Structure formats: structure tokens, C-alpha cells
Amino acid sequence: MSVITISRQYASGGSVIAALVGERLDWPVIDNDFIDRVAERAGLSKEEVQEHEERVPSLVERLADALAISSPEVFVSTGEAPDARLGYDERMVKATQMVIDQLAAAEPHVVMVGRGAQAALAGRPDALHVFVVGSLESRIAAATERLGLARDEAKEKIEKVDEGRRRYVKAHYDRRWDNPANYHLVFNSGVFSYEQCANLIVQAAGMRGWT
């Protein structure tokens, strides 16, 4: 069993790099597939998983959940059953952990992207943990090109997503998502191309005897 986890700053190209690594090694890559798998196990829609994954609920959301428990009549006017909106994040975290564990146990080789996999599998000797970063300016440029956002919107999106990932790993695994000591390899995709990053990861896998 061999696992490569690829964590990534938003708009750093981590998902593209993961796909290239999977192609070069002929390993399955679990990235957006997490959404379908977690939705199935948590009993949620794909849209709900997309909205809530890799983040922790805000104070307002936690207060709303607490209010729903103590005063369910608040939601009657909306036609939404209180139980349907409670525990999204808890159910998702448990389902995500289950998916990660099952993949790590079932697949002989696999590349996992994000979702706290590097923290969930931190103790495994057969795992290679990679973190892909980039300068803020290079990521803003990538986000504006990919999403068609204005510069300020792209910067806000980057900061929001990165903070969500940082808080998710801290809240559920008590680890620093952006601490380089928690990874075996850290690549700056503003210095190395996506292809070069992928090639170096494949070389590292070869050094571990996985190719």
C-alpha cells in the first residue's frame, strides 16, 4: 500500500499536479471524487458537501444550529426540517475520515487531494505528504484567469479558502495545515511548473520504491 497526499494552497495548481502524478504513476487520483463518496456516506447531497467541505462552521452557523435545537419552531416558516440542517459538518468530517481510511486500506496505490488526508494519515509509514504553495500574486493571476474574477475578488477567494482549510485541519486534527514540517515535500508552483512538480513527486515515489 502506498499513498501520496497532495495538500494545496488555493489556485496553486495542486489538483492539476495530482492529476499529472496519477497519470505518470498510473495510480487513481481521488480529488473531486471525494464529494460523491462523502455525500453517499453522510447522506447529504453533492451540493451540501461542496458547500461545507474543508471548512468549519462559523460562529453564526453554530449559533443557528444551537437555536434550531432549542427552538425548532424557528424553521417552520421556511418549511425546512431542523434535523435536516443539523450536524452537516460533523457528519461530513466522519464520512470524509471514513472515505480516507477505506481508500488507504483498499487501494494498493492512490493519490489523495486535500480534505485533511495528510493529517488523517500522518502516522502511516507508507505515505508521502506533499504541500503545493505559490506566491499570492501568482495565485491571484491563476484565479483570475481560471474563474474570470477581478483581482480583488480573486484575492478574497484565495484568503477565504485557505483560511477554511487551515481551520479545518486545526479543528479536526489539531495540526497546522500550512506547517512545512508536516509534509515530506513542499513545492512552489510559481517557481517550478506543474509538470516539473509532478515529475519531482514521481521521482520521490521512486526513491521510496513505489515505481
76-80, 135-139, 181-185: least confidently modelled range: 76-80
Residue 185: strand pairing partners: 130
What pLDDT, on the 0 to 100 scale, is given for residue 44? Answer: 63
Q: How far is it, in rounded angstroms, from Cα 12 to Cα 151?
A: 16
Q: Higher confidence at residue 56 or residue 133?
A: 133
Rounded distance, CA 200 to CA 211, Å?
13
Among 126, 99, 106, CA closest to 184: 126
Q: Give 160's contacts (C-beta < 8 A, 6+ positions apart).
A: none
**Contact assessment for residue 21 and residue 201, using Cβ atoms and an 8 Å cutoff:** yes
For the chain, the domains span: 2-207
- 30 pLDDT more than 80: yes
CB-CB contact of 15 with 142 (8 Å) = no
- The residues with which 30 forms a beta bridge, in sequence order, are 112
Q: Rounded CA gap, 126 and 15, in Å? A: 21
- Among candidate residues 184, 175, 180, the one with its CA nearest the CA of residue 2: 184
State what percent of residues in the chain have pLDDT above 90.
56
Q: What is the rounded distance in angstroms from the CA atom of residue 132 to the CA atom of residue 60?
A: 31
User: Other CB atoms closer than 10 Å to residue 151's CB: what's the count?
Assistant: 12
> Does 79 or 35 have the greater pLDDT score?
35
Counting residues of the chain whose pLDDT is more than 70, the rounded percentage is 75
Q: Where does 2-207 sit in CATH, by number?
A: 3.40.50.300
Question: Which pLDDT value is given to residue 95?
Answer: 80
pLDDT, residue 82, reads 39
User: Residue 24: which residues within 8 A CB-CB, separation 6 or more?
Assistant: 198, 199, 202
